[in-house]
Amino acid sequence: MGPLMSNSREEEYARSCNDEKCIIASFYKFVPIRNLEKLRNSLYHICLDLGISGTILLADEGINGTIAGTKNSVKDLYQWFCDQPNLNGLKIKYSEDTSVPFHRLKVRIKREIVTMGQQGIDPTTNVGNYVDPLDWNSLIKEDNTIVIDTRNHYEVEIGTFDKALNPRTNSFREFPAWVTGTLEKMPDIHKDSKIAMFCTGGIRCEKATSYLKDRGYKNVFHLEGGILKYFEDVSDEENLWNGECFVFDNRVSLKKDLQPGEYLMCHACRMPLAQTDLGSKKYSPGLHCPKCYGTHSEKQIKRFKDRQRQMELSNLRGLKHLGGRAKHDS
């Protein structure tokens, strides 16, 4: 990966969408990729030239990213993807914001584009059935459909579908253990059960179907494009979602109309905060919230205070502090 951007480049990113709405694009594709170093270098410099920020992950199993830029720059990057033989047909979702939710560009090579930690799982060749967002309601309304939310517990807590099982995981790595330790011990679960899974953008639930199929489950389905594509395609009258949808950037959550939601981020524990949390005596901006109060060491508190002071100074200068980004398993 290229070097981190200079201060002048960071300031350019902070201002890059002032004249027009910032386009946020989330995309992934499970596809065998070779020459990872060459692809990483190409992508890094193309994004840098286009003024695009965000994170792109590359692995032998594919590509996964969320980036932000102007409408034209995102369009140009998408066209570049379309011109690559193995990267055309990316599953991509768009949303808008008035400011840039990312302030650095990172293009990294990983073992997996979404970490499950299970050897032998190959989502490039073996996944469940894709369900179009317009067909999702019918599937999950069926009495015999087992609906599973494959996201982390803090995501589920601010919004999900009715009757969806919550594995209460802290990261996607814990999902296989939940399957073997909880799901497979449920009396109504068998290898022929109809199982429908979903996640934010489609990548985790797609990989989850690969894992279940590897364990012998036959009727496995996943929401194509995830919750964000469901929000995009399904009318408000037909939308069965309850709450908001957590996202892994400074917007924290999105409403059904894909506009930023009401939640904020605790920069100490990285958990989403409802408006009621902000009125708690256990909430102090940048230091702690009701969810993490009393769990940090004195050394951590000192570091948090220094960071909060830097963020406040950056805000006074009209720039966003780079340490304010969400850093969660996606």
When pLDDT is averaged across residues 166-179 and rounded to a whole number, the result is: 97
Q: What pLDDT is recorded for position 8?
A: 41
Residue spans of beta strands (DSSP E) within the chain: 22-30, 53-59, 62-69, 91-97, 105-109, 129-131, 145-149, 159-161, 194-198, 219-223, 241-243, 245-246, 253-254, 264-265, 272-273
CATH 3.30.70.100 range(s) for the chain read 7-109
Query: So what's the pLDDT on residue 99?
Result: 80
Which residues carry out catalysis? 199
Task: Give the confidence band of 206 by pLDDT, cuts at 50, 70, 90.
Answer: very high
Residues 26-80 have pLDDT tens digits of 999 999 999 999 999 999 999 999 999 999 999 999 999 999 999 999 999 999 9
Residue with the larger pLDDT of the pair 226 and 329: 226
Over residues 83-123, the pLDDT tens digits come to: 998 998 888 888 888 888 887 999 999 999 999 999 889 99
pLDDT digits (tens, 9 = 90+) for 16-33: 454 468 999 999 999 999
Query: Percent of the chain scored above 70 by pLDDT?
Result: 90
| Residues linked to residue 325 through DSSP beta bridges, in sequence order | none
Say yes or no to pLDDT of 251 above 80: yes
- All CATH 3.40.250.10 domain ranges of the chain, comma separated, are 129-242
Beta bridge mates, 298: none
Answer yes or no: is pLDDT of 15 > 80. no
Average pLDDT over residues 269-290: 94
What rounded mean pLDDT belongs to the chain?
Answer: 89
Q: Are the C-beta atoms of 246 and 272 separated by less than 8 Å?
A: yes
Task: Give residue 274's pLDDT.
Answer: 94
Question: Worst-scoring range by mean pLDDT, 172-181, 293-302, 308-317?
Answer: 308-317
Per-residue pLDDT band for 317 (boundaries 50, 70, 90) equals confident
| pTM as predicted | 0.84
Give the phi and the psi of residue 91 in degrees, each rounded to 5.
-80, 115
What does the DSSP 8-state code read for residue 284?
B
Query: For the residues 169-185, what does the mean pLDDT come to?
Result: 97
Q: Please classify residue 243 by burial: count the beta carbons closer than 10 Å to its beta carbon, then call 0-12 exposed, 13-18 middle and 19+ buried.
A: middle
CATH assignment of 7-109?
Answer: 3.30.70.100
Confidence of residue 314 (pLDDT cuts 50, 70, 90): confident
Question: Looking at this protein, which amino acid is placed at residue 330?
Answer: S
For the segment 161-167, the average pLDDT, to the nearest whole number, is: 97
Of the pLDDT bands very low, low, confident and very high (cuts 50, 70, 90), residue 3 is: very low
One of 3.40.250.10, 3.30.420.40, 3.10.580.10, 3.90.105.10 is the CATH number of 129-242, namely 3.40.250.10
User: What is the rounded average pLDDT of the residues 263-284?
Assistant: 94
Could you give the count of Cα atoms lying within 13 Å of 131 in the half-sphere of its Cβ?
27
Band (pLDDT 50/70/90 cuts) for residue 9 is very low
